[in-house]
């Protein structure tokens, strides 16, 4: 069998080491088919694919947990319509081919079967197969060896395998979301930095709420999150927290406010906005040496900088033209040029990890829209629009945009995700009110 590690130290805390993938190629069943089961995303008549995820056999508790994680992941993607358990025509044997005629009669196109077992040491072996019901062929099969504590994560990895095989898109379920948790009365909210799995599970607080937290951003390459923190009576300052140790480091020795930090693709630099009198400039900083360099310098408010995936460019927002708009420049500050046009203002740009799109917030006529456009400013599209939508951030595969929506009043914000076609929108569960989300890179580093 082929053995290959699914973890990479720079992405994954020590507690998650030891998850191993093996391809199911020697169990004597049908060989994997060649791209039989496909779902085309986009177009005017898109319909989610009917799929069934059977109860995984073996360990009755963990088997049900893993299969439910896979079912819920695929449903939340918006691209699959899992069959309800009450309509399952059979409980297939994992070691045998399922009854394809029965599943075809139930309207299913894809079928996922699986098994969760333990070895003598208590470690889990999680196996699954993806079947093309129409052709009666196995599309793929994999096996994961891990500790029992990683059962949910094994489910996310199975979801990613099924999703990528059928859609041709990159994986994203094996990831996390950091956000600002908001609790208490609206006039005196406690704002804590929290992190959770992308489906809302395994929530934990990273800060206690003694400082207000704003605009967190994951590093693409290390176990760090940068954010702006403000203690009562002090200037807001950029800090970095390490997820493995919990250590926090203030970045820079500025006399005025620093805000909107973003990491370079290699995780070695930060780019941020630093207040200069009544203006704000974009500053880069080497994290190791703390050396800093201003790359904009003018009579404008330049903020919300974000690197392109290859690190060669920076997108940012500026009011240098009279209203807040989106600009792109070289990573050294060269050739700044405006790319957002049209009605209203444009702010909070975020570059897709695929490099093909920039998401941003457009404000016009009292409404806030989450939009995307190409890096040259062409092809602008509205993904979702409402009273108050802000803070777009991309999923690791660039197919979904996470944001927060605040309906106003005495309530607070909630997290939502929308796909880049605008056809799929879904809430993301959080313990309380939430804002300022940031999506992690894949934990597996794929």
* pLDDT band, residue 22 (cuts 50/70/90): low
pLDDT band, very low/low/confident/very high, at 144 (cuts 50, 70, 90)? very high
Distance in angstroms (rounded) separating the CA atoms of residues 293 and 304:
16
- Residue from 197, 155, 150 nearest 175 by CA: 197
* pLDDT band at 19; cut points 50, 70, 90: low
Output the pTM of the full model.
0.91
Question: What is the rounded CA–CA span in Å between residue 406 and residue 424?
Answer: 19
Q: pLDDT value at position 28?
A: 44
Tokens of 384: 């979702």
Top-confidence residue, 154 or 211: 154
Q: Are 166 and 110 in contact (CB under 8 A)?
A: yes
CA 422 to chain centre: 17
240 or 41, greater pLDDT:
240
* 54 pLDDT higher than 80: yes
Predicted confidence at residue 7, as pLDDT, reads 30
Tell me what pLDDT residue 20 has: 57
User: DSSP alpha helices (H): ranges in 31-171?
Assistant: 60-77, 100-105, 151-167
What is the pLDDT averaged over residues 121-143? Answer: 95
- The three-state secondary structure class of 148 is helix
Q: Are 380 and 400 in contact (CB under 8 A)?
A: no
pLDDT at residue 399 is higher than 60: yes
Q: What are phi and psi of 385, to 5 degrees?
A: -140, 145
Q: Provide the token pair at 343.
A: 């009605």
CA torsion angle for 401, 75, 193, 261 (degrees, to 10)? Answer: -20
Flag whether pLDDT at 24 surpasses 60. no
pLDDT tens across 235-294, in order?
788 999 999 999 999 887 777 788 899 999 999 999 999 988 889 999 999 999 999 999
Q: What is the β-pairing status of strands 110-118 and 302-307?
A: unpaired
Residue 342, pLDDT > 70, answer yes
| Residues 182-192 pLDDT 10s | 988 777 788 99
If one counts every other C-beta atom within 10 angstroms of the C-beta of residue 179, the result is 27
Question: Cα separation of 70 and 56, whole Å?
Answer: 10
Q: Does the pLDDT value for residue 5 go beyond 90?
A: no
Cα–Cα nearest to 195, from 204, 183, 184: 204
52-73 burial: b if 16+ Cβ within 10 Å, else e: bbbbbbbbeebbebbbebbbbb
Q: What is the DSSP string of 406-430?
A: ---TT---EEEEEETTSS-EEEE--
CB 174 within 8 A of CB 443: yes
For the beta sheet containing 389-394, the strands, ordered from the edge strand earlier in sequence to the opposite edge, are: 389-394, 400-405, 414-419, 425-428
DSSP state of 441: P
User: Can you read off the two tokens belonging to residue 414?
Assistant: 């909630």
Q: What is the C-alpha separation between 104 and 113, in angstroms, rounded?
A: 15
Q: For residue 295, what are its two tokens?
A: 């790359």
8 Å CB contact between 299 and 277: no
For residue 323, the 8-state DSSP code is: S
Lowest mean pLDDT among 3-17, 61-75, 237-251, 334-348: 3-17
For 152, other C-beta atoms within 10 Å of its C-beta total 16
What is the C-alpha separation between 84 and 218, in angstroms, rounded?
36
Please say if the pLDDT value at position 18 is more than 60.
Answer: no
Q: Across residues 358-368, what is the average pLDDT? A: 94
- For residue 187, the model assigns a pLDDT of 75
Q: What is the pLDDT of residue 360?
A: 98
Q: What is the DSSP letter of 156?
A: H
pLDDT, position 446: 56
Query: What whole-number percentage of the chain has pLDDT above 70?
Result: 91
User: What are the C-alpha distances in Å from 185 to residues 105, 391, 394, 411?
Assistant: 54, 22, 30, 9
Tokens of 381: 């599209």
**What kind and span of H or E run contains 53?**
strand 49-53
Q: In this predicted structure, what is the pLDDT of residue 209?
A: 84
Q: 222, 269 in Cβ contact below 8 A? A: no
Mean confidence (pLDDT) of the chain: 89
- Is the predicted pLDDT of residue 397 greater than 80, yes or no? yes
Report how far residue 344's alpha carbon sits from residue 217's, in angstroms, rounded to the nearest whole number: 26
Rg (C-alpha) for the chain, rounded Å, is: 23
- Provide the percentage of residues in the chain whose pLDDT is more than 90: 74
Question: Which strand ranges, in their side-by-side order, compose the sheet holding 337-338?
Answer: 302-307, 313-318, 325-330, 337-338
Structure tokens that stand for 100 in this block:
């394809």
């Amino acid at each position: 069998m082929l053995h290959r590690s699914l973890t990479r130290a720079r992405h994954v805390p020590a507690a998650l080491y030891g998850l191993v993938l093996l391809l199911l190629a020697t169990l004597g069943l049908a060989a994997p088919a060649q791209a039989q089961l496909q779902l085309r995303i986009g177009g005017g008549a898109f319909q989610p694919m009917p799929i069934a995820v059977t109860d995984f056999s073996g360990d009755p508790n963990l088997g049900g947990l893993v299969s439910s994680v896979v079912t819920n992941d695929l449903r939340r993607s918006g691209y699959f319509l899992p069959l309800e358990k009450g309509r399952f025509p059979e409980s297939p044997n994992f070691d045998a081919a399922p009854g394809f005629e029965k599943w075809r009669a139930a309207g299913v196109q894809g079928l996922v079967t699986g098994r969760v077992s333990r070895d003598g040491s208590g470690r889990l072996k999680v196996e699954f197969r993806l079947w093309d019901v129409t052709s009666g062929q196995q599309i793929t099969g994999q096996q994961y060896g891990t500790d029992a504590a990683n059962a949910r994560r094994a489910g996310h990895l199975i979801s990613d395998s099924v999703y990528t095989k059928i859609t041709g898109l990159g994986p994203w379920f094996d990831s996390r979301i950091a956000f600002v948790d908001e609790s208490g009365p609206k006039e005196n909210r406690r704002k804590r930095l929290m992190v959770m799995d992308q489906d809302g599970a395994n929530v934990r607080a990273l800060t206690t709420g003694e400082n207000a937290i704003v605009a967190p951003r994951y590093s693409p390459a290390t176990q760090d999150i940068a954010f702006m923190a403000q203690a009562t009576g002090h200037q807001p300052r950029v800090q970095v927290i390490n997820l493995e140790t919990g250590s926090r480091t203030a970045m820079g020795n500025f006399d005025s406010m620093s805000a909107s930090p973003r990491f370079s693709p290699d995780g070695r630099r930060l780019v941020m906005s630093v207040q200069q009198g009544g203006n704000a400039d974009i500053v880069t900083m080497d994290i190791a040496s703390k050396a800093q360099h201003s790359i904009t310098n003018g009579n404008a408010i330049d903020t919300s900088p974000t690197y392109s995936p290859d690190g060669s460019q920076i997108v940012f927002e500026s009011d240098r033209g009279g209203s807040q708009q989106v600009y792109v420049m070289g990573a050294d500050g060269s050739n700044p040029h405006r790319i957002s046009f049209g009605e209203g203002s444009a702010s909070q740009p975020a570059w897709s990890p695929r490099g093909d799109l920039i998401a941003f917030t457009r404000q016009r006529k009292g409404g806030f829209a989450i939009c995307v456009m190409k890096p040259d400013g062409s092809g602008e599209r509205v993904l979702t629009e409402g009273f108050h939508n802000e803070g777009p951030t991309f999923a690791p595969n660039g197919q979904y945009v996470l944001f927060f929506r605040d309906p106003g009043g005495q309530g607070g914000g909630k997290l939502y995700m929308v796909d880049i076609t605008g056809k799929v929108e879904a809430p993301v569960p959080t313990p309380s009110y939430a804002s300022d989300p940031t999506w992690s890179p894949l934990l597996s580093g794929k």
